[in-house]
Structure 1
Amino acid sequence: MGKRDYYDVLGVSRSATDDEIKRAFRQLAKKYHPDVSKEKDAEAKFKEINEAYEVLSDPNKRRNYDQFGHAGNDPNGFGGFSQGFSGGGFEDIFSGGFGGFGDIFENFFGGGKKRRDFSNQPIKGENLAAHVKMTLKEQMLGKKVQLDLNVDKPCEICAGTGAKDPKKDIHTCTTCDGYGYVNIEQRSLFGIMQSQQPCPDCKGRGKVITSKCPKCKGQGHYRGKETVEIELPKSIHEDQQLRIREKGNYGLNNGPRGDIYLEISVKPNKYFKRVNDNLHLDLPVSYLDALLGAEIKVPTFDGDVHLKLPPNTKTNSVFNIPNHGFFKSPTSHRRGDLIVNIIVTIPTKLSAEEKTKLQELKDVSSFKIADNFYEDL
């Protein structure tokens, strides 16, 4: 069964923007992640989603895919030719090397006897998706996190070969004679043409395993737990997706590890709110401090600071505390401000002594509402 169209896999149109593709990938990755999904085929769907995103999120790969389909990014298909033509000039094209006319004519006309050692070709591991939820303070100052992942790890029993005994149980495939591919004849307007496809028996490896490794069942790898430590940068944005390189699934044949696409979310804070690079705080203060003036403590993510309130401070008076907000960027030392909005609070319960003293103050106070205040109402 052939591969599905990558746009259909992500559920987007061919004119989808990069943001629409990224958003679709995030939603599907959350739904089908093997660690959380209860779908029977979640793992297969998750791999399909990752593969589609890896192509459509890369401008060059997407352009090749739009032009040539799945063959556009296949090193043995049109994609290799297209990249060779744009990148290296005539010497690369006619040299017969990777992506040149030598491969093209071999693929379509069956020429050449060159053995392709697919079994030893390094293959990059698949990407993973993960999610981290942070506090607002951790978002501002950065944080080290540990991710407990289920990853495909090389089998240490068979050294990644998939064979019970690598010396005895790996043999040259008799179907393709070890070439890794077979010639297929097809009729066309130009007559009968031959094309090469991966061998169905050895899956393009050129080798077959007669007795499989009992641990990995011939796969050369197995699913296992692994804890990965990641340092999240300071002042990242919520819903920002970070790409952690080479911390995903292990590659085959000493290929590099895949990447982790890490999505960030931030827990709501009861007191503080981020606005661009500034922090905002609604700070309740006593009506007596507001009336008489006082030096008060203001909590910040860097520790308490002192703020001097002038007498007769009113509700919604705003004070700036410089350099106590978010960093301008993960690598910057410059910071925004902490913007403090004063909320004057009046007690709802008073002791008898407090009531007596306030009544005495009221009787001698010179503060009166103007007699003509109500005249125009």
Structure 2
Amino acid sequence: MYHTALPTPVAPGLEALRLPLPFALDHVNLWLLADGDGWVLVDSGFGDEDGCARWEELLAGPLAGRRFTRLICTHSHPDHMGLAGWLAGRLGVTLLTSRGEWEEGRQSWFADPADLLARKLAHYHRLGYPPERLEAMRQGGDIYRSRVSPPPDSFVPLADGDELRIGEGVWRVLTFGGHSPEHVCLWNPEANILIAGDQILPTISPVVACWPDAPESDPLRLFLDGLATLRRLPAETLVLPAHGMPFHHLRQRCDDLAEHHRRRLAAIAAACTTPATGFAIVTALFTRPLDIHQQGFAGGEILAHLNRLEADGQIRREISPAGVWTFQSAPPLP
């Protein structure tokens, strides 16, 4: 097990740094790659005051005297890019990420919080969330900006297939959709090491959801396509995930996640034998209590599966006069 906030060797020239998160998923793994006489940092951690304070402790303690050359962020979520702006300035480095993730982070930071909240409430109204749940979401507001530092004004864009020379190694950029717009993974073919971010995790499924800005998108198709791509990497690949411990069973994990979503699609299709709202399906499939934050994620995940089923012709969508979507099994083609 990694020690929180102590660099832990993983492979030659590669160290892990585990930072705490204020959620049930209580940690995020960052990665340090030796780069000549400096270090490349992969991901930044959660962007609140505690996150800044913890980094100051690290830079005054276990990481004292280290020179950093670059900051790479896998994606725009607050536990990964939350401190990118602050750290880039603090360390005097440039941020590298995909254009999709940089634009997502910038858009979320600069958007009007009142507009973000209005669009969020409209999104969950479409899914049939009852007034009391929508009011709880309203009371919670939009909290993205409380979890991130202002993003950098500039960055170096990474695209699928790019190669980065870091120290003695070459890391190939792989980008994926589904969990986030253009999630960056780094693969070192010579060492057979994959820095995976959230794209594939050892014990839990990454969130694959539809959000207010793209409610009719099909992120599950993108995610499943990404699993097929990852499955083609060598069987002995060492996977370094953002949460949990490193693992080697990449192909089996890809198969397990694909099967998980196949079962979820079947369960949701079965829940649509009569017209059902997204919220009704959330209630049917998530039997454990969910807080309001978890209910939002659950609704987004259910909608991603509904959109996949609709794209496959298995269900159809109708819109009520009040603007609420209902979903029902589509009749078989003649």
Q: Shorter-chain TM-score category? A: under 0.3
TM-score of the aligned structures, taking structure 2 as reference length: 0.25
Q: TM-score, normalised by structure 1?
A: 0.23
* Structure exhibiting the larger radius of gyration computed from Cα positions: 1
